Amino acid sequence: MGLNVKDVIAGWNCSSMEAFYLLATILSNFLKSLTLSLLLLFRTLLPRHWFSRSSSNSSESLSLYEGTVWHERRRPVRHSFWYPVRYALYNLDHAPHAPPDHLSADQARQIASTNGQVLLLTIPPSVGYVQNPLSVYYCYDVEAEAQASASTQLLKKCIAEDMLGNWNMRANAPGDNLYVTISVQHPKLGDYFTAVLEAKRVPSSLVSDHAMFFWLMPHKVAVWIYWHALKLWWKNVSYIQHPRYTNPAYREEASIRDHKIQCCPIIGSDKEKHLQFEGSDQGYFLDRSCEIRQFTWRKAKWPWS
């Protein structure tokens, strides 16, 4: 089968443009983060009363967690690694300074069909940069006979980002310990990917400044992601081009596929959904009866737009 010269040239041009955009993004983010880091350092060195620190947020609206993330890919080649992370858990009903570009508490409740509090687990932006592999919304329910007592709220469902494949997710109700595990069934690769987050709550008394607590956290995550992407490339794992270069109808096909797949099954049977995780405060296997699977298109920021 002959090779189309125009396709080769188009592919080379796309790769060259992506390389240029990547370098431009790295340079832009480096300069922005450097400037904001210097301002953050300057603010930290000034007397405390000159600036209101982010640690003044109510403990009711924000909790801090520190732990590790472990990844394992089984196919097409085996590759695993782990790295330390820091996460923020926001109560979206009481968090005026929650990161932008996320669901509101009411939107999450509408999707999950719940009536209780909504917590958002995420890595917040730091010194002008965002790199957040996964955000999880914990949606709680209040039973009709116990609506007067907030302490009786039970974790009902979680909302997380989806990609091609069936995502199985297991999580506990965040307390002093936090646990999330995800496994993915791919249409061609099968059970090829597992990720685990384990973290412990950091006492607020140990954190004098939230901005310093998360300083360069997104940057570190980006370095780990690209470093291991380079390792996978070295192991001859092929690079998958963005579908917009090879399939102009990829959005329409994704919409059709999303319509067919209405529910992501959850790990564990119905009998298991109230089992407590070892070492956790209050753990549940999430209910299988999820009713909504959805996605939205978001226009990428420069230079990826």
Whether pLDDT at 70 is above 60: yes
Can you give the pLDDT at residue 8?
37
Domain boundaries defined on the chain: 55-284
Can you give the pLDDT at residue 46?
72
pLDDT class for 279, splitting at 50, 70, 90? very low
Whether pLDDT at 84 is above 90: yes
Whether pLDDT at 34 is above 90: no
Mean pLDDT (the chain, rounded): 75
Q: What is the pLDDT of residues 96-138, one digit of tens each?
A: 778 878 889 999 998 888 999 999 999 999 888 888 888 899 9
Give the number of C-alpha atoms closer than 13 A to the C-alpha of residue 204, restricted to the C-beta side. 13
pLDDT class for 186, splitting at 50, 70, 90? confident
Can you give the pLDDT at residue 151?
56
Can you give the pLDDT at residue 15?
60
- Alpha helix (H) ranges present in 148-292? 210-213, 217-234, 250-260
Whether pLDDT at 177 is above 90: yes
Structural tokens at position 184: 């993915």
Whether pLDDT at 233 is above 60: yes
Can you give the pLDDT at residue 256?
77
Least confident of 156-165, 196-205, 212-221, 295-304: 295-304
Residue that wins the pLDDT comparison between 14 and 271: 14
pLDDT class for 163, splitting at 50, 70, 90? low
Q: Contact 194/305 with Cβ under 8 angstroms?
A: no
The answer to whether the Cα torsion of 76, 78, 84, 88 is positive or negative is positive
User: What is the phi/psi pair of residue 141, to 5°?
Assistant: -125, 145
Can you give the pLDDT at residue 270?
38
pLDDT class for 181, splitting at 50, 70, 90? very high
Can you give the pLDDT at residue 176?
95
Q: Quote the percentage of the chain above a pLDDT of 70.
A: 70
Q: What is the 3-state secondary structure (H, E, C) of 99-143?
A: CCCCCCHHHHHHHHCCCCCEEEEECCCECCECCCCCCEEEEEECC
Query: Which DSSP string do the residues of 153-187 spell out, in sequence order?
Result: -EEEEEE----SSEEEEEEEE-SSEEEEEEEEEET
